[in-house]
Chains A and B, each alone.
Chain A
C-alpha cells in the first residue's frame, strides 16, 4: 500500500508548478474575436464541395464537381468568366470573394446521410470551410443542411428536388436554387393532359426516401386534379438495381401510365426494365401505354439510351437553351471538359456564384449577413430567366422546363428536347402550402456559430 506524506513545502511547490503549467497556454492563445464560424482571416477563403463520388448518383456528383471547379476558376478571374458576364448583379470582379482567393476542399457523401455529415463536419472543423455546398440526394441535402444550421455555416444545396428541403425541413442557413417536386408536378400535369387525355390510370413506382415520397405526392395531386386516377404506388429501395419484380405487377393492374419517381441510376434501371417488359408496345383500356419520368436529366437520358425516346419529364435547365447565360456557361464548360454540362452542374455552378455575390453585396462572410443578402434577391442572366430567392423558405422561383426524349438525336448529348417552358407564376405556391410543412414550417433563426 502506498504511504503518502504531504509537507507544506511540497504542496506549495506542486501547487505553484501546476498553476504555472495551467496558465502557460494562455500566453500563447491568440485572442481572436471571431464573430462567426471559420471567419477567413488570411488571403484565402475555403469552400466545401460535398458531392457523391460513389453510389447511385456518382455520375451527377462527378459533373457537379466539374462545375464547382469551373466556378472557382471564374471567381478567381481565370478562364473566360462564364456566367459572371451575363449575371445581372455586377459585384463580382474576378478577384476571388471580397479580395480573398477562393480555395476548395472536396468530400464524398457516398449518398449516405451519415457519411455526408461526417465529411461536411471534417470540412468545417478541419479545413475551415465557411460554406458547404453539394449533395445529389435530398436525404443527404437535408441531413447536411441541418448540420450547417447547427454549426453556423451557409449551406447552398446542389441537386435536391424534394419538397422537404425548403418545406418542412427548411433551415435559415440553407438555400436551394434547384426546383422541387411540386414544381415538377405543376409544370408537367397540364402537358400530360394535353397529350395523353384526362382519363388515365397511373401506376407509380417511387424511390423510398424523402424525395420519392414528396415527388410522388406532388405529381399524383397535380394529375388527379386534372382527372387522372392513381391506381397504386409502390415504394422501391434506393439501393435497388433490378426493378423487374416491381414492373411485372404493373401489367395486370389495369393502369395505362407508369410514373417512375426515380432518379439517376435508379431511373436508368427501372426504365430499361420497363421497356424490356414491352410496356411501351402495350395497349391498355384502348390507349397506348405511356411512361412518365417526372424528374429528368441528360445524364439519365444518356444512361437509358434509346429507351427515353418520346418519354416526358421536367428539368431545371438544359444546355440547349438559347439565352445569353446558358450559352456562356455551356461554352466555358465545353471548352474545359469537352462536353455540355448537366442540370446538376448548372445548379451547382449557379449556387456558388450566388453565394459569392451575396457575400460581396453583404461585405461580409458572416452567415447572417449572407442570409440577409440572399433573401428576396431577384436576379437574371444565370440561365433560368428572371429568378427570385424567396425570403420565406429560401427557395428559388423560376421557369420550369418540360422535356421529351428526342426521337432522332443528332449527337450523343442532344437527347432531350424542350416541349414547353412553364412560367414561374404557374409553379409558384404559398410558403405555408400543406405539402411544404403547412403553417408549422419555419426557417428558425440564422446561426453565425461560434
Chain B
C-alpha cells in the first residue's frame, strides 16, 4: 500500500491506530480514582507526545541514518515557533500559513548552519551545531529582545497581544489559533461511566501531521537516498573513494531534519501561541538526543516511543508531591509510612530527572537498541516459548 512493503504498512497502521485512539489509550483509569494521577490523556500532554514525536523522527533522519550527532536541533524548533507566532501577530490566527512559514524558516536556517557545520564530522560537528544553537538562544533570549528592538520578547516569550496588527483576522473567528475557524483549543469531552476522554481539535491536527511525516520518514528510509545516507554512516571515506560526494547528501538530510524540527516548533506555537527562548536552549537539544537513543536510534518507531516516554515522566512523575505520596502509603503504620515517603520522595516530584536518568542508564546498558530492542526481545521470547533452544537466534539489526 502507498508504495510500502507489508511490514512497513503494518507499522504505519499501528502508528495511525495508536495516535487516533490515544485519548482512550492514555486514559485507562476512571477520572475520580486514585490512579487517575497516571492518566496522560489530556490535550496538552497528548499534543506534546505527538509534537516531540515529530521532532524526534526528524532528528532520527539525520542521526539514525548518517550518524551525524547534532547537538543544536532545538534551535530549529525555536525558529519555527517564533516564525509561527509572528504570522499570528502580523497576519492571521490560521495555523496553515504559520506552520508553512515555520518549516520554511527552519529550512533556511538549517541550510546555513548545516553548510558550515558539515565541513567537519564527528565530535567537531556536534560542537559546531551546539555553538550555533547557543548563539541562537543568546540572540533570542537577550540580543534580539530589548525595549527598542523586540523580535523575540526574551524571557517572557513572544506572544500575541490584542493590539497586534493581525491583518486578516476578522470578527467571528476564534481569538486563538484555528484551522479555518476550528479552534485548536476546542475539545469534546466524552464521559462513559466513570471514565472521561477528551478529543481535542489541536491534538488531531498534530496526529494527522505525525502520520504524514511518519510516512515520509518511512519512504526516506527505504529510498536510494536513504541507502546513500546509511553508506555515509558506515564508511564515508570509502564512499568518497568510489567517486560519490557525500556532502550534498548529508546537507540534504540535515535540512530535512531541520525542517521536521521547524514543523514541530510551528505546531507547538499553533497549540499554544507563545514562543519562549528556553525551547532553544542546549538542554532542549539534548532532550531530543535522549529521546532518540532511548527509543532506538535508526529505527522508525523508536524516536516516537522515546519522546512519549520522556514527556510522560516530565509531566506525570513531576507532579507527584509529598501529600500524594502520603495518600498512597496511608495504609501503612505511621513510622513506616513516613519512611516509605522519605525513600520515594527523591524520585518523584522535582526529582523526576533522577528516575529518568536511572532508566536511561538501564536502557543504554542492557538494551543498546533502545525500547524497540526491548519490544523485539519480548516478542521473540513469546514466539520461541516452548520451542527447542537450538533455533540459532540471529540478531537482526534494529530496524
Interface size on A, residues (CB 8 A): 44
Across the interface, B155 reaches (CB within 8 A) one of A30, A122, A209, namely A209
B8 located at the interface, meaning its Cβ lies under 8 Å from any Cβ of chain A in the complex: no
By the criterion CB–CB under 8 Å, are B276 and A209 in contact?
no
Query: Does the CB pair A143–B159 fall under 8 Å?
Result: yes
Give residues of chain B (254-281) contacting chain A, Cβ–Cβ below 8 Å.
272, 274, 276, 278-279
Q: Do A30 and B43 touch across chains, with their CB atoms under 8 A apart?
A: no
Quick one: given A108-B350, A112-B276, are A237 and B142 in contact (CB under 8 Å)? Answer: yes
Q: Contacts of A122 on B, CB cut-off 8 Å?
A: 42, 44-45, 315, 319
Closest residue of chain B to A441 (Cβ to Cβ) is B163
Selected contact of B156 from candidates A28, A113, A115, A150, CB within 8 Å: A113
B286 is an interface residue with CB less than 8 A from chain A? no
The reply to whether A125 and B42 form a contact with Cβ atoms under 8 Å apart is: yes
**B190: contacting residue among A25, A112, A115, CB under 8 A:** A25
- With contacts A25-B190, A118-B315, A147-B272 taken as known, whether A213 is within 8 angstroms of B147 at the C-beta atoms is yes
Per-position binary interface string of chain A over residues 233-263, scored 1 when its CB falls under 8 Å from any chain B CB and 0 otherwise: 0010110000000000000000000000000
Cα-based distance from A108 to B42 in the complex (angstroms): 18
Chain A CB count within 10 A is highest, among B176, B191, B276, for B276
CB pair A125–B198 under 8 Å, yes or no, is: yes
A142 to B157, CA, bound (A): 9
Q: Which residue of the partner chain, among A25, A28, A112, A169, contacts B278 with CB atoms under 8 Å?
A: A112
Let me know if A210 is at the binding interface, CB within 8 A.
Answer: yes
Neighbouring A residues of B73 by C-beta, 8 Å: none
Task: State how many angstroms separate the Cβ of A79 from the closest Cβ of chain B.
Answer: 16
CA distance A138 to B153 in the complex (A): 13
Q: Could you tell me if B279 and A114 are in contact, using CB atoms closer than 8 angstroms?
A: yes
Determine if B382 is an interface residue (Cβ-Cβ < 8 Å).
Answer: no
Residues A115 and B278 in contact, CB atoms below 8 Å apart: yes
User: Per-position contact with B for A138-169: 1 when CB-CB < 8 Å, else 0?
Assistant: 11001100110011000000000000100011
Interface residue tally on B, bucketed by range: 35 or more
CB of A85 closer than 8 Å to a CB of B: no
Q: Does A198 contact B (CB under 8 A)?
A: no
CA gap between A442 and B279 in the complex, in Å: 30
A28 touching B190, Cβ below 8 Å? yes
CB atoms of B190 and A146 under 8 A apart = no
**Cβ-based interface call for A440 (8 A):** yes
Contact B44–A121 (Cβ < 8 Å): yes
Is residue A444 contacting chain B, with contact meaning CB distance below 8 A? yes
Closest to A239 in B: B141
Residues of A within 8 A of B17 (CB): none
How far apart are the CA atoms of A121 and B155 in the complex, in Å? 19
Does B192 touch A at the CB level, under 8 Å? yes
| B376 part of interface (Cβ distance < 8 Å) | no
Contact check, A126 vs B42: say whether CB atoms are below 8 A apart.
yes
**Assembly CA distance A295 to B147 (angstroms):** 21
Q: Smallest CB-CB separation from B188: which chain A residue? A: A29
Q: With contacts A118-B44, A209-B154 known, is A54 near B350, CB below 8 A?
A: yes
B contacts, CB < 8 Å to A: 39, 42-45, 48, 141-142, 146-147, 154-157, 159, 161-163, 175-176, 185, 187, 190-193, 198, 272, 274, 276, 278-279, 315, 318-319, 321, 349-350
Q: What would 12 A/B residue contacts be, using CB atoms closer than 8 Å?
A: A25-B192, A112-B278, A118-B44, A122-B45, A125-B198, A139-B154, A139-B157, A209-B154, A210-B154, A237-B141, A238-B155, A444-B162
Q: Sorted from nearest, which 3 A-B pairs have the closest CB atoms? A: A209-B155, A114-B276, A139-B155
